[in-house]
Amino acid sequence: MSVTARAASLLVAFLLVAGLVIFVTLYYVRGVSSLPTVHYAASGGQVNVVLQEDPQNDSSSKPDWVSYYVQDPATSKWVHTTLFSVPANTRVNVTLYGYDGCTPLRNNYFSQVQGTIGNTVTLSQFDQHGKEYVSEHTTSVIDSWSDCNVGHTFAIPALGVYVPVASPNAPLSANNLCSESPCVTEGNPYALEKFSFMTPDHVGVFRWQCLVPCGGGYLDGNSGPMQTLGYMMGEMDVVSS
């Protein structure tokens, strides 16, 4: 083979590999960025973030995966995403609706509320008729091993925020869970948690996740929704205030 032919072959091979790398990179970036981000603006140094976690979701590809939803403050509509942005150095008041049933924590240490203001959450629980059977109980521990009461967690490890997310009780978890997402309070049992934490004074993207092995159908409950953005894994983008 002549030098020219060899050089041409080398060039073609190089272009093929480079093209493949660029395609994969763009495909991945485009795939991640297709998730919408819900933006929260501060008012009086505070933002009110509203989340819910459901036993299923309204996607066409993985409808049986457990999933978080984020409420858009502009429209009050639930958005199937786990990306939201908040300003830096701001108090974030979280309202979290827990519609999914209970699953024990792998490490019950995360039953402890950490990193919130006061290291507590305020918990209420309602049955499918709207009856409040636990009313605004402020606690620093929701023990996932003592009763059916923890569905998932909301954890931002880089900020030291670990919050067990309560679930409806055992009979309600077994028989009356919400079956259509995004869930609504009417006709469904749910837990309602409120807590606050401070965002750092610097911008950055902070991963948040669930620490309950809630990936049904996957080894040890890991993988699947546990590790997928838009389901039980999310990112909080702290932007300049």
Which chain residues interact with another protein by CB under 8 A? 55, 62, 64, 100-104, 106-109, 111-112, 114, 140-141, 143-148, 151, 155, 157-158, 160, 162, 167-168, 170, 172-175, 177, 207, 209, 211, 213-224, 226-227, 233
CB of 193 to another protein, least distance (A): 17
What is the nearest approach in angstroms of another protein to the Cβ of residue 41?
A: 27
Whether 71 and 58 have beta carbons less than 8 Å apart is answered as: no
| Comparison of 47 and 231: residue with beta carbon closer to another protein | 231
* Shortest Cβ 95–another protein spacing (Å): 22
Query: In whole angstroms, what is the distance from residue 106 CA to residue 115 CA?
Result: 20
CA–CA separation, 241 and 233 (whole Å): 25
Q: Based on CB atoms, which residue is closest to another protein, 33 or 223?
A: 223
Q: Which is nearer to another protein, 47 or 99 (CB)?
A: 99
Structural contact between residues 54 and 204, judged by C-beta atoms closer than 8 angstroms: no
Task: Name which of 214, 113, 236, 100 is nearest 164 in CA terms.
Answer: 113
Nearer to another protein, 38 or 156 (CB): 156
Chain Cα centroid distance, residue 31: 18
- Supply 8's token pair: 């041409």
DSSP state of 98: E
Q: Least CB distance from residue 227 to another protein, whole Å?
A: 5
